[in-house]
Amino acid sequence: MPAPVIGVLALQGDVREHLTALTAVGAYACPVRRTSELDAVDGLVIPGGESTTISKLVDIFELRDPIDKRIAAGLPVYGSCAGMIMLAAEVLDGRPDQRGFDGIAMTVRRNAFGRQVDSFEAPVEITGIDGGPLHAVFIRAPWVERVGAEVEVLGTVADATPSAATDTRIVAVRQGNLLATSFHPELTGDLRLHRYFVRMVAAVS
């Protein structure tokens, strides 16, 4: 069986790190900046970076409608950090002109865990991934405040912020062929989440 072709949206953010991780787990990984490149992939990763910048560049590169159509047709997509924000149906604390792909029925709060200086690392158990918790890196990370009935919560982390109204926050979700995490697995060397996504892609390719 040929390796699935997985693109990484290469407009801004941790593109190289995702390409390296995907290649390491057996996918054919390639950057995506044009519609023709998007048309050739079996799956897509939206990397961490700056969500408002990615949103603007998606429009500049005329990729919004093509990505919307591929998602509606069942394309497996994984979004990490800013990518999670781009996949959300609703974004809190975003800019008024910020637009995502409205793929996952969830409400995400942008920069919820704090600013760059508040970045942290924590173990996160992920449903469907064996081998113990992932070592998760959170950088200006969002969290998920609400999910729809069709969304599966895969992972949570303790909320230690001073104003915390709850003990845990949702940081990993899946809805059908769409996967999203608040954290950056591409920065840790732990390839299990990328391997999980490759299996998702292979299941529908």
Instruction: For the chain, give every domain's residue range.
Output: 5-204
Residue with tokens 């910020």: 98
Name the average pLDDT for the chain.
Answer: 92
Distance separating alpha carbons of residues 134 and 185, to the nearest angstrom: 8
Whether 111 shows a pLDDT value over 90: the answer reads no
Mean pLDDT calculated for residue range 183-199: 95
CATH dotted code for 5-204? 3.40.50.880
Amino acid at site 165: A
Active site residue 184: yes
CA distance readout (Å), 72 to 10, 59, 66, 137, 161: 21, 18, 10, 30, 36
Active site residue 18: no
Q: Tens of pLDDT along 154-177?
A: 999 987 665 555 678 999 999 999
Q: Tens of pLDDT along 37-62?
A: 999 999 999 999 889 999 999 999 99
The active-site residue out of 81, 125, 145, 150 is: 81
Mean pLDDT calculated for residue range 63-79: 97
The active-site residue out of 50, 62, 135, 186 is: 186
The predicted pLDDT at position 112 comes to 76
Please check whether residue 184 is in contact with residue 139, taking contact to mean a CB–CB distance below 8 angstroms: yes
Active site residue 186: yes
The active-site residue out of 17, 30, 37, 184 is: 184
pTM over 0.85: yes
